[in-house]
Amino acid sequence: MKVSIITINYKNASGLEKTIRSIIAQDLTDIEYLVIDGNSTDGSVDIIKKYEDSITYWVSEPDSGIYNAMNKGIRQAKGEYILFVNSGDNIRDDADIQKVSAHITGEDIVYFNLEISDDNANYIKEYPDFPDFKYFTEDTLPHPGSFIKKEMLVKYGYYSEYNNITSDWAFFMDAICLLNCTYKHVNDYFSTFYTDGISSDAIHRALLIHERNEHIAATYPLYNSMYKDRMEKIEELYKLKHSVSVRYLKKLGFLKWLKL
């Protein structure tokens, strides 16, 4: 089997149904679909049962967090490659997952661009062909737009369950910058990410920064001081970007020339 698509969910019944419908609408020939639910009590299980004839495997049981659920899916998956399309996100109606997966030609990671949907508008986020350490200090690769070789995830030791929201970022960074994995960027998109997830929530930004700082210090100690200096500058810009006065001026259209 070539690809395993995995959806994890916790108490997001409406988002889960949207995700499931977008996936089972595809031609899933040689593709299995797994749903890992964290013992939801909001009707999510009823949604899964509604579509279970189109789901290869599902389970609803307590877990210890996002990455524990994702690791459960990895261990259960039988595909050579894994694609995570988690609850609330979706594969686009006009996508053809068979044509998309045809871009997989043996690399450890094959990643596409990603449609981002927020409160204001949708836009296409483009990713670099050759991400490096500097790139990963600020950004990551798109989970719902990346096919990851299962063998690579197992070799890495699965996603760290110590972190709450940054283990996918740590994996992509380490796989490319530390383990010299093979990768390929496809300049196209097939999935949509909605910015209402935990890692996109502004109140979790401090946790995200803390977890990233710990990972850099432990894994890349020679670059830690450079990373800290860079992040201090980025945080200053972030605070300026989100200040009340700047947001007001942007709303009036006075700061269109600034990349804020």
Q: What is the mean pLDDT of the chain?
A: 90
pLDDT at residue 59, rounded to an integer: 98
Which runs of consecutive H residues, i.e. helices, occur in the chain? 13-24, 44-50, 66-76, 97-101, 133-138, 150-156, 167-177, 205-219, 224-241, 244-251
- What is the spatial distance between Cα 146 and Cα 137, in angstroms, rounded to a whole number? 19
Beta strand 57-60 with 122-125: parallel, antiparallel or unpaired? unpaired
pLDDT tens figures, 130-181 = 999 999 988 999 999 999 999 999 999 999 999 999 999 999 999 999 999 9
Of 115, 133, 112, nearest to 124 by C-alpha is 115
Q: Which is nearest to 167 in space by CA: 134, 129, 196, 207?
A: 207
What parts of the chain have a pLDDT lower than 50?
199, 246, 255-260
Closest C-alpha among 110, 124, 112 to residue 82: 110
29, 2 contact by CB (below 8 A)? no
pLDDT tens figures, 32-56: 999 999 999 999 999 999 999 999 9
Q: 52 with 24: CB under 8 angstroms?
A: no
User: 3-class DSSP state for residue 21?
Assistant: helix
Report all structural domains of the chain as residue ranges with CATH numbers, in order of start. 3-201 (3.90.550.10)
> How many residues in total does the chain contain?
260
